[in-house]
Chain A
Amino acid sequence: MKTLTDLKKIREKAQEEMKLRGSNTRIKIVVGMGTSGIAMGAREVMKTFLEEIASRNLTDVLVTQTGEKGLSSMEPVVDVVEDDKPKVTYGNMTPDKVKKVIVEHIVNGRIVSDYVVATGN
């Protein structure tokens, strides 16, 4: 038996969890998962992103993956895409760098220029 307040809570929780199935996300993180990306540790980078997002309850961030883009020497490569802003590409990513990008860029909106290898399209 649930009360109306319980229902409201369940509703809100489910809403957050289902957000990804809509397209209302503020920011998109694209991890390069080509063969060389994976060889250079892109899976660890991806996992760290997912863990950080989950532990910080960031519900408006979308993580997806893409293939090789020709920056093999800089793998793992990560793009951060926001509406109306130039795309930011980070290179030579590691789990530690991911944590910094999450804190600085994703949460506070400050690009971590040390890791940037390209901006724009």
Chain B
Amino acid sequence: MKYFRSHILIGINETSLNSGVNAFIQALRQELAKNDLQEEINVLETGPLGFFGKGICLTVYPENTNYENVKIDDLPELVSDHFLKGRPLKRLMLDASGKFDPKFNYEHRIVLRNSGIIDPESIEEYLGTGGYEAWEKALLQMQPMEIVEEVKASGLRGRGGAGFPAGLKWSFTAPLEAEQKYVVVNADEGEPGTFKDRLIMEGDPHQLLEGIMICARAIGATKAWIYIRGEYKLCINRLNLAIKQCHEFGILGTNIFDSGFDLDIEIKVGAGAYVCGEETALIESLEGNRGNPRWKPPFPGIKGLWQCPTVVNNVETLANVPYIIKNGSGEFKKYGTPECTGTKVFTILGDVAHPGLCEIDMGTTLRTIINEYAGGMKKGFKFKAALVGGAAGVILPDKMLDVKMDFASLNQYAAVLGSGAILVMNEHQSIVDMLWSILRFFRHESCGKCSPCRIGTQHLYALISKIRKGEGTIEEVELMLTTAETMQQTSFCALGQSPIMAIRSALENFKDEFIEITKK
């Protein structure tokens, strides 16, 4: 057995890659060797560490010390102080005051439980955390309908935005007789301010694969596609590696574990269109066509990819599945609220002290998320509003801080949880500017298939631009609302139906700002 007294975990993500983490790791190994520590201290490349610091971040076990923004020049001091003499280097520690404990974010974790702890490029380590036990169970001990029933019983709802019950979705496709069925993973993650799926895939790619396998077994699919954003290069590399490892281990392929079940997973890289996050547009894109949405019904569950029954699920949804199958739906339901079970990964950004992501119970209030998990507001700023759910989300004012963050509670306020992005604004931010930015985004991303959305998004952008310059009238503010309402009723897909949410919530809560600017 190889025994290391200490492990240095280095978070590999887009940020640290940009800071030259590969050269850094080489330098770190050299520095350790110089001090003759290479046999005592293990250097591990892992996924997101669960906190957000600048540049290259490290976590040192067993003490659980977090460092941020470590440079190659810091290494001699760091190695001699911390690793040789055991004195953590205060000046590089993340928030050395110790008031904010980023490990707090790890408290209730299902999908991120391995992230920042294991090496995502090692299948052995994933196995060591009990990985692929759920897959063995689903494949060898459970009938497909039992899997569907278990997921149904868990109350797992889709984490991509709409919150449709996952088990129910599977139950439409599972009983169908078809020559070919597909599982498609929506890893397009286009919602502004959302990057949870990236971190799930970077930190623990095997967990997603295991979720896909269980879903495929449940519905009888022998082929799965991961439709992933082109920008997520690290995710793509890690997923490809993970798939390769699974084939080598016989976890994927033909006649898996002598069960007679075949499965292969392939990756399709998207080209960065917001509309391709819509499941039917995603399927069109996957088939090689222009990313336009299809008419529903038939839903993809009946006729999806190449007209075959297809289940389309979000990354986070599937990443929850291994836990449910391994521990049972009862264990999963201990998290969250009775209506919305489990945890949710939120991405918090904007004017908070510690932007980043956290995985917490469904139904945690917005106030708790901001104050406890994001370290409160940035010093010297007051909370004004939060944009919840990305561009297709709503703007919540301070009186809504105690709203519970789950699908059901937010629906009561005509709000949506969406993908779990929370953008916090301070008292100096202009809601008009915010709305302008959202509407500009919609104008850019409308696919142009249907007139209400194609023309409506142009029109909304023209209106808000005029208002923002101080040249608009109060009638034009109202016109935005009626335009968006018409779009909501007549647009072909969710894209054109969404601008109403941001506009309505902005006008309901911050009408004064619009009145003021039109008076100029």
Residues on A lying within 8 angstroms of B by beta carbon are: 1-4, 7, 10-11, 13-18, 20-21, 23, 25, 31, 33-35, 38, 43, 46-47, 50, 53-54, 57-59, 62-67
Contacts and interface: CB of A to CB of B under 8 A. Distances in A.
A47 B128 contact: no
Contact of B62 (A16, A34, A57, A64): A64
19 contacts: A1-B250, A4-B136, A7-B127, A13-B128, A14-B128, A15-B128, A20-B4, A20-B5, A20-B7, A20-B61, A33-B85, A33-B86, A38-B84, A50-B39, A62-B5, A63-B5, A64-B5, A64-B63, A65-B84
Contacts of B63: 64
A75 to B, nearest CB: 13
B402 interface: no
A21 B2 CA distance: 14
B6 interface: yes
Interface of A is mostly: helix
Given A7-B132, A10-B124, A46-B40, A21 B249 contact: no
Interface of B: 1-7, 9, 36, 39-40, 61-63, 84-87, 117-118, 124-125, 127-133, 136, 248-251, 257
Nearest to B61: A21
Given A7-B127, A46-B40, A67 B132 contact: no
10 residue pairs, one from A and one from B, having the closest CB atoms: A14-B128, A65-B86, A54-B3, A63-B5, A1-B250, A11-B127, A15-B128, A14-B124, A2-B249, A33-B85
A1 B249 CA distance: 5
A14 B85 contact: no
A95 to B, nearest CB: 15
B249 A65 contact: no
B389 to A, nearest CB: 35
B84 A33 contact: yes
A118 to B, nearest CB: 19
B6 A18 contact: no
A3 B9 CA distance: 31
A63 B6 CA distance: 8
Nearest to B253: A1
Contact of B1 (A16, A23, A34, A65): A16
B257 A64 contact: no
B61 A67 contact: no
A46 B303 CA distance: 64
Contact of A11 (B6, B84, B128, B248): B128
A21 B127 contact: no
